[in-house]
Amino acid sequence: MFFVGLAAHFCLWRREDAMTATLRERLIVLIEPLLGRLGYELVELEYVARRSSALVRLFIDRPEGIRVEDCERTSREVAALLDVEDPIPTAYTLEVSSPGFDRVLRTPAHFARFVGERVFVELRVPRSGRRRYTGKLLATSDSGITVEVDKEKVEVPFAEIGKARLAPE
Mean pLDDT of 15-27: 70
Contact, 166 vs 106, CB < 8 A?
no
**% the chain with pLDDT above 70:** 88
pLDDT at 169: 87
* Domains with residue ranges and CATH for the chain: 2-97 (3.30.300.70), 108-166 (2.30.30.180)
Whether the per-residue pLDDT at 56 is higher than 90: the answer is yes
DSSP per-residue string spanning 78-118: HHHHHHHH---SSEEEEEEE---TT-B--SHHHHHHTTTSE
96: amino acid identity, one letter: V
pLDDT at 3: 35
pTM, to two decimals: 0.76
pLDDT at 19: 53
**CA quadruple 80, 86, 87, 89: dihedral sign:** positive
CA–CA gap between residue 73 and residue 52 (Å, rounded): 27
CA–CA gap between residue 163 and residue 124 (Å, rounded): 8
Residue 5, beta-bridge partner list: none
Mean model confidence pLDDT for the chain: 88
**Residue 99 pLDDT class (50, 70, 90 cuts):** very high
Query: What is the four-CA torsion angle of 60, 29, 57, 52, rounded to 10 degrees?
Result: 170
